[in-house]
Structure 1
């Protein structure tokens, strides 16, 4: 078996934009792209399967079993968009390069002119900043008023980095947007910060109501965890004799 794509539709797209959001730090990219797909009612048109995905099948719905895959959705608006979503990324280095190359081979036939990859950036502060990187320094000027903190060094691993790096070799410009998050927990708050930048760039109007509800639940969960940790610390102090 090799990496292959099963096409379900053949949409007519022009000057399109690829937006990737696969599982990664804080699931930020996945939450963001899944939310865009839902709010924009984007249509699925292809699935990607690969032996470099985790070696398991998922059980869904009425005991239906499926291989792990990545999915392509399209949306026709002011800008034609292709969303790359999915349940996992490749499990090894060769697989990451293989899948990223296969994705680009496929979307190039849909006239992709630029790539945006979304993800999380783990920090101790876990605030609401959005970090960025671009394939051409001149592109930074395009985002002057969006409050993006552009990184001067470091690295971006997985699909978020390779799609841009390989895309650059093919003459496709690219931007990476990373939402600040704790890293060890799912972060819808960081996903919202990234989405606010994305919707501003493309002039997209969506409701954040459902995402705000998820942010609220996550923050309540974190408060409960901290309260329990504090209670446990107090108990340890009370039990300590010496």
Structure 2
């Protein structure tokens, strides 16, 4: 028996929301969204939330315009963009970078799915490129972008510093714009992250704020351990690259003599 699906189509772009067998959309009012951005922070935070709360996959999104991609878990392929549920919330995440030309239409699909299922609030996890400042993790602010002033209470409870002026890009910007146009209360939680490597440490800080807001017990120690390992590996790579460059510079400064 084929899986049930709902089709969202506009301007020749078709998105199918394909429901898992024997899974129903829960009666909840909050949707969390996590997509790859700077430091892969949104995706890392979403994955950790799924694992900590033991959320179940309930649906996935397919589109004939997506690049041919499958993510594999325990030998089984899955679509990269999927919905999960558990602990009184739903979550949508992607394990691939969304092509920029598809972000607006995918955002429309997600927001329409949320409206169809009586979602009242969306929280977006995302990273923004670091400015290069040497801030400690404790000093890093979590920035907020709101779909409207109606979300100010949620932003305050999440302890966000509102971005007064600036620009954001990618699927998060599309979700916020679509939420604004549909009067859906949406908060973007954004933290500066490393641009050249995954940043689980920043993802952990996002999750800690979210856990306090929703009074959840979310495990983040494993993210901090991953961060330490990544930082050690990155430091080794940098040291090796610097040593190789010094060797090249030394040979250039002392060319061989030919008699």
Specify the TM-score bucket, using the shorter chain as the normaliser.
0.7 to 0.9
Give the 3 Å change call, closer, same or farther, for CA 90–234 of structure 1 in structure 2.
Answer: closer
| CA contact 1:53–1:88 (8 Å) conserved in 2 | no
Residue number among 148, 166, 178 corresponding to 1:166 in the alignment: 178
Matching residue of 2:44:
31
DSSP 3-state at the match of 1:112: coil
| CA contact 1:50–1:69 (8 Å) conserved in 2 | no
Matching residue of 1:96:
103
Matching residue of 1:121:
128
Cα shift at 1:65: 5.2
| CA contact 1:40–1:75 (8 Å) conserved in 2 | yes
Matching residue of 1:71:
82
Matching residue of 1:18:
31
Report matched runs for 1:82-231 at 5 Å: 82-93=90-101, 95-123=102-130, 124-125=132-133, 127=135, 128=137, 129=140, 130-137=142-149, 139-140=151-152, 142-144=154-156, 148-231=160-243
Q: Choose 1 or 2 for highest CA Rg.
A: 2
Cα shift at 1:222: 2.2
TM-score (norm: length of structure 1): 0.86
DSSP 3-state at the match of 2:218: coil
Give the 3 Å change call, closer, same or farther, for CA 83–92 of structure 1 in structure 2.
Answer: same
Give the 3 Å change call, closer, same or farther, for CA 169–143 of structure 1 in structure 2.
Answer: closer
TM-score (norm: length of structure 2): 0.81
Greater shift after overlay, 148-157 or 228-237?
228-237
Question: Residues of 2 paired with 1:86 and 1:60: CA distance?
Answer: 14
Give the 3 Å change call, closer, same or farther, for CA 195–57 of structure 1 in structure 2.
Answer: closer
Residue number among 32, 43, 47 corresponding to 2:56 in the alignment: 43
Greater shift after overlay, 212-221 or 154-163?
154-163
Task: Count residues with an aligned counterpart.
Answer: 235
| CA contact 2:69–2:80 (8 Å) conserved in 1 | no
Return 5+ residue gaps in structure 2 as ranges: 1-12, 255-259
Over the aligned positions, Cα root-mean-square deviation in angstroms equals: 2.4
DSSP 3-state at the match of 1:46: strand
